[in-house]
Amino acid sequence: MRWGSEKGRMLITPEIKAARKQWNWLTASRKRLNLIWGGASSSKSVTVGQHIVVNRFLPLRDIGILIVRKTRPAVKASCWEFITRMLEDMGLDKQVKTNKSDLRIGFEPNRSFMLFDGLDNIAKKKSIVGINYIWVEELAGLSTDTRITLDEWRLLDTICRNTPADGAVNQLYGTFNPVDPVGNRWLELLTKRGDTARMGLLHCTHGDNPFLDPEARNTIIALAEEDPEYGKIYNEGVWGIPLLVIYDNWDTVASMPEEFDTRIWGLDFGYSASEAALVEIRIRGREAWIDEHIYQTKLTNPDLIDLILAKGIIDNRNDMIVADRSRPEHIKEFRNAGFNIYPSETKRDDKKTMTSVQYGIDTVRRYRLHITQRSINTINEISTYKWKPDPEGNPLSEPLKFHDHSMDAMRYALAKIERHWTAGVGFAPDAAPKQQDPDYDPIDDDDLWTES
């Protein structure tokens, strides 16, 4: 093991660089229960994943590791992708046996395995055997669709009972942000209780993550001025209650419907530390199903176009994309690449009493939203998407700009289609979009719309 040259960093292997504080705490712990909690972007989950692979999965013999979230699609979209990518970066993807349908990874030289699953699925099984270590990602949540209960945590404690490796201790790891002390009362009590003979706690913030992009760090720091309660949760990493949450008209579902009236895509362009978000929306009546397809930072516009084309998820000729109209140069690039893309709404409502953002939010609130369980970032965003408060804590008429990329993408699409329905026009799917004018808006083009 070699130390990194910059403060707070450790070079574990040529491929893995870890946050020193979190890594040292994890490798030194001999306690049964290990909770790492605190603010946003504090390298909680990344370091636990690194520790499990480097210190448990690869060197120890005859051990089993269970990695869980609330639902199976959520753990597949996050922990599974992260771990398999880490093994690939280490050059071990050919040496491990991966079963994507079972979400299982085996390492034959040591007869060890990792199993990924959702608590909703585990609770249905009679038994899971051979488990020495368990990692529970996102222990705290704002809804029953995401929140881990005390009974579920106790269930996992009983599962972690395989014969320990020589000189080792079977352990559970939990990672979470301190959000909603009312809904997550049992977790809050554990953090207040502090370390015990059986349980260890590590608190960390973005200041303990030496790899964080400065732009992302500044955004978190600015939360304290924008919203004191969110500043507590995400900047300071202490318990807080999200007030003034905008949407309560949603739930989670296993999959998208096969039958629907309309399909549309919403796109929020990313840059450097900001995520690009692409969501698919299928509409039937006043119900909308949302599926997250891309949520990734550091994508240039050509990168984003290439990624969408590689995924093959959008029918360029028939599928409509609605994107942020403040980035006309990006919209033009997409049009030149053959995508059926249009700018988001700028018009106010008919009475001219709402801005386009307010109109978009009002439109989204008219639907019953069903978000796929694998859309983990969209679920995280909608759980905490809130109105910006004034100094007295009263809601202003604009949302807080934090973790809102999928929310923007969803708003762009639903507001655009609602405007067209209200105007009495409908899609002409065989039409091709104009390619050159970035300010072009199809609502005024008779060639692209037909009377409904």
* Residue 146 counted as domain residue: yes
Look at residues 158, 185, 213 and tell me which one is the last residue of a structural domain. Answer: 213
Cα 144 from Cα 166, distance rounded (Å): 39
Bridge-based pairing of strands 2-3 and 9-13 is antiparallel
90 and 183 both lie in a single domain:
yes
CA distances to 150, 185, 348, 387 from 363, in Å:
37, 34, 12, 16
The pair of three-digit structure tokens given for residue 346, joined into one six-digit string: 């700028």
Pick from 194, 189, 192, 180: nearest CA to 233: 180
289 and 397 both lie in a single domain:
yes
Residue pair 315/331 in contact (Cβ under 8 Å)? The answer is no
* Residue 201 counted as domain residue: yes
Model's pTM, two decimal places?
0.86
- Identify any residues that bridge with 272 across adjacent strands, giving them in sequence order: none
* Residue 242 counted as domain residue: no
208 and 257 both lie in a single domain:
no
Find how far residue 105's CA is from the centre of its chain.
23
Cα 413 from Cα 263, distance rounded (Å): 10
List the CATH number of the domain containing 276: 3.30.420.280
* Residue 154 counted as domain residue: yes
Expressed as residue numbers, the domain containing 170 is: 2-213
* Residue 172 counted as domain residue: yes
Pick from 217, 168, 191: nearest CA to 61: 168
* Residue 164 counted as domain residue: yes
Question: Could you give the number of structural domains in the chain?
Answer: 2
- For 4-93, list the strands marked E by DSSP: 9-13, 16-19, 33-38, 64-69
List the CATH number of the domain containing 69: 3.40.50.300
202 and 256 both lie in a single domain:
no
pLDDT in tens, the chain (452 residues): 444 445 788 888 888 999 999 999 999 999 999 999 999 999 999 999 999 999 999 999 999 999 999 999 999 999 999 999 999 999 998 899 999 999 999 999 999 999 999 998 998 887 889 999 999 999 998 888 889 999 999 999 999 999 987 778 999 999 999 999 999 999 999 999 999 999 999 999 999 999 999 989 999 999 888 899 999 999 999 999 988 999 999 999 999 999 999 999 999 998 767 899 999 999 999 999 999 999 999 899 999 999 999 999 998 667 999 999 888 999 999 999 999 999 998 765 555 567 888 889 999 999 999 999 999 999 999 999 999 998 888 888 899 988 899 999 999 999 998 876 655 444 433 334 444 454 445 444 433 333 32
